[in-house]
Structure 1
Amino acid sequence: MNAPRNGSDRLLRIDEVKLRVGLGKTMIYRLVGQARFPPPYKLSPFASRWSEREIVEWIAPVKDGFEGKKRRW
């Protein structure tokens, strides 16, 4: 679950995206619809994949809380 190496970019299935971001499929698609989450790439009518690089970039600013709240230690 590390960031892509050497500029490579894997395409992730929804199950791996769910594990990485800690959200369910419905919430992910809701956020995509609100333009608050990277949209998937449609490989076929039945296959969608997400860019690992885009998911890692999305996670970085929300680490402190989904609504931007700072974590307290």
Structure 2
Amino acid sequence: MRAQADLFGVENSQKRPSETTACKPKVRGAPKSAVASPRKVQFLTIDEVMKRYSVSHATVWRWVKHNEHFPAPVKLSPGTSRWSEDQLIAFENRARSRQSGKRSKTSQKAPV
């Protein structure tokens, strides 16, 4: 009978690279306190998106369908959608910059 392969496709009789006796070289660089830990990605439910913008359920879905700038939800399963908070923040920042651009253009017009 042939030996079964584990999850990594390596037969049990073979050693994985992590099981070798060679020591890994120490990496010297920034101190641990200076290294930024990866930020967890936060996903919001439709109720949280509704509260964030003070709009209805239908309005959120209308924005998804008709507003090319509004982030599309991530489909986790049928009937389960979530919005990336990072994408929503980027959307808000773009909307602010568009608004400030419109204001500066109107304020630069010469009075008639």
Query: What does residue 51 of structure 1 align with?
Result: 84
TM-score after normalising by structure 2: 0.47
Q: Structure 2: how far apart are the matches of 1:63 and 1:45? A: 33
5+ unaligned residues in a row in structure 1: which ranges?
none
Higher RCO structure, 1 or 2 (CA under 8 Å, sep 6+): 1
Query: What does residue 95 of structure 2 align with?
Result: 62
TM-score after normalising by structure 1: 0.67
Q: Is residue 36 of structure 1 aligned with residue 72 of structure 2?
A: no
C-alpha distance 39-18 of structure 1, shift in aligned 2 (>3 A): same
Divergent runs of 4+, >6 A: none
C-alpha distance 25-61 of structure 1, shift in aligned 2 (>3 A): same
Query: What does residue 25 of structure 1 align with?
Result: 57
Describe the superposition over 1:35-72 as per-residue Cα deviations: whole angstroms up to 9, x where unpaired: 231111110001100001011111223358xx8365xx
| Contact 1:21 1:59 survives alignment (8 Å) | no
Q: Structure 1: how far apart are the matches of 2:55 and 2:44? A: 15
Which amino acid in the other structure matches residue 30 of structure 1? R
Among the aligned pairs, what percent are the same residue?
A: 33
5+ unaligned residues in a row in structure 2: which ranges?
1-36, 104-112
